[in-house]
């Protein structure tokens, strides 16, 4: 009996490339770990000692300057892969935003296993290529969009990832604090707050609680997203 047998992301994660026997071999070198919000799994600049699959929860990838400015460079969800295989150092911090469960492997074990399983590497390549595309599209937001466009784009992305629809509106709970939204968008917390408040005042969104968002007028958000 292996963890993988009951794994909910078994068919979405890169593991889906493997046969039952191969999976059981992979299971042998992996182990589960739970993370609490704020807990980190890797640190920027550290040796790349492990890689992992996200089973449940949301985590952020971030980098920072010496003087404490931070930029969130990626957000990962269940079935996403984290860590840097085939490389000596981690180039980002990986930190849980919510309670999270991950399936971790020592990097050397994973590298060896992957090198012998081309189908797994193929899945990982596809994932990495998509992630690179998504990351590059985000650069347009960071470099060229203003605060309103940034917030609108961000809320639409969150809605697509996390939203549930009910009678024409889309609702979700943000896995981010206001400061973290700022760290994703390259804005200060105050600018984020003002833009969100403004969207609410103008009837585009509703804010049932601090972390909850309801999109009332998706079209308007799209118009504002640039």
Partner DNA sequence: CGCCGACTTGAAGAATTTCAAGGTGTGTGG
Partner DNA sequence: CCACACACCTTGAAATTCTTCAAGTCGGCG
- Binding interface with a second copy (CB under 8 A): 61, 63-67, 69-71, 73-74, 84-87, 91-92, 115, 118, 121-122, 124-126, 128-133, 135-140, 142-145, 183, 185-186, 226
d(CA 168, CA 182): 28
Contact in structure between 56 and 78 (CB atoms under 8 Å): yes
Helix pair 147-162, 118-144: axis angle to 10 deg: 150
Q: Smallest distance from the beta carbon of 177 to DNA, in angstroms?
A: 4
Tell me the HSE value of 89 on the side-chain side, using a 13 A CA sphere.
Answer: 6
**Residue 188 interaction partner, one of DNA, a second copy, none, beta carbon < 5-8 Å per kind:** DNA
Query: Which CB, 143 or 168, lies closer to a second copy?
Result: 143
Query: Which CB, 8 or 125, lies closer to a second copy?
Result: 125
Which residues pair with residue 82 across a beta bridge?
A: 52
When asked if residue 162 is in the footprint of DNA (CB under 7 A), the reply is no
* Of residues 85, 129, 80, the one with CA closest to residue 107: 85
Q: Smallest distance from the beta carbon of 88 to a second copy, in angstroms?
A: 11
- Residues numbered 108-147 forming contacts with DNA, rule: CB under 7 A: 146-147
Q: Smallest distance from the beta carbon of 187 to DNA, in angstroms?
A: 4
d(CA 121, CA 30): 17
Which residues pair with residue 172 across a beta bridge?
A: 213
Contact footprint for DNA (CB under 7 A)? 146-148, 177-179, 186-194, 196-197, 207, 209-211
């Amino acid at each position: 009996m292996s963890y993988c047998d009951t794994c909910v992301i078994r068919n979405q994660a890169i593991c889906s490339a493997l046969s039952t026997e191969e999976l059981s071999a992979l299971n042998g070198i992996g182990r589960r770990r739970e993370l609490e919000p704020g807990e980190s799994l890797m640190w920027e600049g550290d040796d790349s000692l492990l890689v992992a699959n996200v089973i449940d929860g949301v985590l952020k990838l971030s980098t920072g300057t010496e003087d404490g400015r931070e930029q969130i460079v990626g957000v990962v969800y269940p079935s996403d892969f984290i860590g840097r295989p085939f490389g000596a150092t981690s180039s980002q911090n990986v930190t849980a935003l919510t309670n999270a469960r991950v399936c971790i492997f020592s990097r050397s074990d994973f590298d060896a296993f992957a090198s012998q399983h081309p189908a797994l590497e193929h899945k990982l390549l596809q994932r990495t290529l998509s992630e690179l595309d998504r990351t590059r599209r985000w650069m347009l937001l960071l470099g060229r969009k203003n605060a309103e466009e940034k917030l609108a784009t961000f809320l639409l992305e969150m809605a697509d990832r996390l939203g549930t629809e009910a009678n024409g509106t889309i609702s979700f709970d943000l896995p981010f604090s206001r400061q973290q939204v700022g760290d994703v968008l390259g804005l200060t917390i105050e600018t984020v707050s003002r833009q969100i408040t403004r969207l609410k005042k103008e009837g585009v969104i509703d804010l049932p609680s601090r972390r909850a968002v309801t999109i009332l007028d998706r079209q308007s958000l799209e118009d504002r997203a640039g």
